[in-house]
Amino acid sequence: MQNARDRLDKILARLAARKADERVFLKIYAHEARAAAAASDTRQGAGRTLGPLDGAIVSIKDIFDVAGEPTLAGSVIHKHAAAATTDADVVARLRQAGAIILGKTNTTEFCFTSEGINPHYGTPGNARDPALIPGGSSSGAAVSVAEGTSEIAIGSDTGGSVRIPAALNGIVGFKPTASRISRRGVFPLSPTLDSVGSLARTVAACAAADAIMAGDAWQDFTPLPLAGMRIGLPPRVMLEDLDDDIGAGFSSTLDLLGRSGATLAACPIDDLLRDMREATSGASIASVEAAEIHADWLLRDDGPVDRRMAEPLKRRLGFPAWTYLRMIRARNELAAAIDARLRAFDAFVAPTLPIFAPPIDRVVSDPAFADLIEALLLRNAQIANQFDLTAISLPMPCRGGSAGLTLVARNGKDRRLLQLAAGIEKLLAA
């Protein structure tokens, strides 16, 4: 493998060549990255290492504080905000582990919406076809990994914001249990639902990033054998409106899992999903909490902000506090109920998304179509956030485009889920 400085120089040259039309990165730390790469190479030459991320080229979503600069969160109204005084905990831990922080990646404004569209800084084209949406909100994060301008990307996941773009770009995206990784210095969308996740080409790389960010001591990472694993089949709602090719790919994957010795059985959670839909029918938890976070500028009604974010949040400003509190109480009760049901399984599986990436132009020009795509992208992915679970999306072989296989497991079972995912990753690769 090339040393860190050589790998970094190739990426920086590629980014310099497209500087006039850069949409994946909002900021590039070329000088600092070269210094970090040189330090890593020196350690490697001396036979020393800071761990599994020493010398890894890492991008961070534009919601993580970096000392000395404002955190834009994909918005122009933050350009003149106060500079962060310290790095986010996640950024500090990555640096301490020897990771090379290359730059900040593009995101949908304030992490709202799931297609990956940003009207202010441009929309990163999907790595497989730049005419297609990248998915969001961690759009630049996913594209940077899929196109090879970073080796690991750090994003956030509130309703699928890591796993949606991972699936659409053909890479791995991991959402940990929300409380696992510190969110100090991370611009919030929904404090109840937000989590800090990782994107990479392999499960092992996501596992390494997750361990470093969580402050865990690194342990050797080995895939779990699939024989005897208890895999739950998805509830009906997660299989509705499936693209035919995605449905065929999922059926083939289930067949592979069965022949590998895994036990497949129905996962009886349909009623809990229905109850969650009823509990949040008046408004999503994310939209109510985001309205509180952004209330000052929403009330002033000033500044250029994406209407697809501003308009629904304005409607939430009058959402009754008692209704919100009841919604949170119901959510906590349902999270406990699903945890009890999932004890019988190591994970349940489903297609990450029911559709392939549609064209950017149509999403931008057709509001009704954009709303339909938004709902379809969020439908399966948001379940893990709503019920406080851990989940991962793996590339799922199928015709027609990039698709994902999602595995969802109980709160706190992050490492076991990653090891199970690595076993399935190996199976799918073979």
Task: Give per-residue pLDDT as tens, 321-335.
Answer: 999 999 999 999 999
161 is catalytic: yes
Task: Give per-residue pLDDT as tens, 172-217.
Answer: 999 999 999 999 999 999 999 999 999 999 999 999 999 999 999 8
The pLDDT score that the predictor gives to residue 301 is 76
Distance between CA atoms of residues 419 and 336, nearest Å:
24
Question: How many independent structural domains does the chain possess?
Answer: 1
**Is 413's pLDDT higher than 80?**
yes
User: Considering just the CA atoms, what is the radius of gyration of the chain in Å?
Assistant: 20
Q: Among residues of the chain, what percentage have pLDDT more than 70?
A: 100
75 is catalytic: no
Please identify which of the residues 59, 137, 260, 393 carries the catalytic annotation. Answer: 137
The pLDDT score that the predictor gives to residue 303 is 76
CATH code of 104's domain:
3.90.1300.10
From the list 172, 179, 207, the residue with the least C-alpha distance to 195 is 179
Average pLDDT (116-131) is 98
152 lies in a domain? yes
Peptide bond into 198 cis (omega under 30): no
- Spell out a b/e string for 100-127, using b for 16 or more CB atoms within 10 Å of the CB, else e: bbbbbbbbbbbbbbbbbbbbbbebbbbb
Instruction: Compute how many other C-beta atoms are within 10 angstroms of the C-beta atom of residue 11.
Output: 23
55 lies in a domain? yes
243 lies in a domain? no
DSSP state of 138: S
The pLDDT score that the predictor gives to residue 430 is 85
Domain that holds residue 196: 4-214
Looking at 215-284, list the stretches that DSSP marks H as alpha helix, in order from N- to C-terminal side.
Answer: 244-259, 270-279
The pLDDT score that the predictor gives to residue 293 is 97
pTM (2 decimals)?
0.98
Task: Give per-residue pLDDT as tens, 242-270.
Answer: 999 999 999 999 999 999 999 999 999 99
49 lies in a domain? yes
3-class state of residue 283 by DSSP: coil
> What rounded mean pLDDT belongs to the chain?
97
**Is 302's pLDDT higher than 90?**
no
390 lies in a domain? no
105 lies in a domain? yes
Please identify which of the residues 161, 190, 195, 198 carries the catalytic annotation. Answer: 161
**Is 220's pLDDT higher than 90?**
no
The pLDDT score that the predictor gives to residue 366 is 98
327 lies in a domain? no
- Ramachandran angles phi, psi of 343, nearest 5°: -60, -20
Average pLDDT (28-57) is 98
391 lies in a domain? no
From the list 351, 336, 341, the residue with the least C-alpha distance to 402 is 351
Please identify which of the residues 40, 59, 61, 104 carries the catalytic annotation. Answer: 61
